[in-house]
Amino acid sequence: MQPIHIIGGGLAGSEAAWQVASRGVPVVLHEMRPLRSTAVHKTGGLAELVCSNSFRSDDREHNAVGLLHEEMRRLDSLVMRAADANQVPAGGALAVDRDGFSQAVGAALEAQPLVRVSREEIAELPPAEWDSVIVATGPLTSPGLAAAIGAVAGMMAAPIVYLDPNMMGGILLYSFAGAVLGGIDNPWGAVLGGFVVGVLENLVGAYLVGAEVKLSVALVIIVGVLVVRPSGLFGRRIVARV
């Protein structure tokens, strides 16, 4: 049977590895620490808590988070088992000893014969020969893998947002109109010019020409300023003898 590859040995990755292995499926859990650490991790332990050591309310009767805790316990959650075994006083919340919690999760996974922990950085998209993959790296993903995921996400979004070479044309035209109106050589004038262009474009588009052709307002402003006052409202007029 082909193993399921799980990238990331945090809370999600560790729990996924436990649940998959508990159902008789082999798992390879890839974790880059301690070979490559992050800005917030201190150890190479699995399921290391780097922010709060609290799992929030544990009240299953009156709190949705506490109810989720109870549901996870009934599903033989490794995270909840380790949390209960390393609980520290925190009122109605479930707080844990960070080191003890991480060590308990790591020990359970190391003792599971169907789980193999691979200490390596996955810095690119998983290879094609990996039949099934779970990416559970969270916000501290390896920079290379994060960039690859971003590229794939961009390609998937392209058909939805209708990417084309001219999609920024309108923004560039409005920006240029504002700069010409305010004065190319005056940054604050360009800012004010952009504000004026925006107000005129919306007023004219709403009450005169319609939203479909309101882009022409920027063109009219550019032509009008270049004809009447090429330096703009606040630009300096420079006369050079040649």
Closest to 4 in 3D by CA, of 25, 31, 30: 25
Does some domain include residue 233? Answer: no
Higher pLDDT, 56 or 157: 56
If asked whether residues 126 and 17 sit together in one domain, one would say yes
Residues 47 and 116 in one domain: yes
> Considering 142, 161, 180, which residue would you say is the last residue of a domain?
161
Q: Are both 155 and 176 inside the same structural domain?
A: no
**Residue 42: predicted pLDDT:** 93
Point out the domain boundary residue: 102, 127, 161: 161
Q: Are residues 69 and 148 in the same domain?
A: yes
- Kindly tell me if the per-residue pLDDT of 234 is higher than 70: yes
pLDDT band for position 236 (50/70/90)? confident
- pLDDT score recorded for residue 212: 75
**Cα–Cα–Cα angle for 213, 217, 219, rounded to 5 degrees:** 105
- 46-100 pLDDT per residue, tens: 999 998 999 999 999 999 999 999 999 999 999 999 999 999 999 999 999 999 9
d(C-alpha 39, C-alpha 37), whole Å: 7
In a domain, 133, yes or no: yes
Segments forming the whole domain that contains residue 173:
169-228
Using one digit for the tens of pLDDT, what is the confidence trace for 15-27? 999 999 999 999 9
Query: Among residues of the chain, what percentage have pLDDT more than 90?
Result: 62
Phi-psi domain of 134 (left: phi exceeds 0; alpha: psi -120 through 50; beta: other): beta
Lowest mean pLDDT across 45-49, 56-60, 113-117, 202-206: 202-206
- Of 91-100, 106-115, 122-131, 209-218, the range with the lowest mean pLDDT is 209-218
Residue among 50, 51, 71, 69 at smallest CA distance from 59: 69
* pLDDT higher than 70, residue 130: yes
Most confidently modeled of 60-74, 166-180, 220-234? 60-74
Q: Does 210 have pLDDT greater than 80?
A: no
Q: Which residue has the higher pLDDT, 97 or 214?
A: 97
Residues 23 and 69 in one domain: yes
Residue at 242 is within a domain: no
Confidence tier at 239 by pLDDT (50, 70, 90): low
Tokens at 185, concatenated: 């050589």
Assess whether 101 and 218 both reside in one domain.
no
**How many domains is the chain partitioned into structurally?**
2
Residues 153 and 116 in one domain: yes
| Whether residue 22 is found in the same domain as residue 142 | yes
**100 assigned to some structural domain:** yes
Q: What is the pLDDT of residue 116?
A: 97
Residues 97 and 157 in one domain: yes
Q: Which residue has the higher pLDDT, 141 or 165?
A: 141
**Lowest mean pLDDT segment, chosen from 41-45, 155-159, 188-192:** 155-159
Whether 41 and 135 share a structural domain: yes
Domain CATH number, residue 69: 3.50.50.60
- Same domain for 115 and 37, yes or no, is yes
pLDDT score, position 202:
86
Report the mean per-residue pLDDT for the chain. Answer: 91
Counting every residue written for the chain, the total comes to: 242
The label of the residue with tokens 């402003």 reads 221
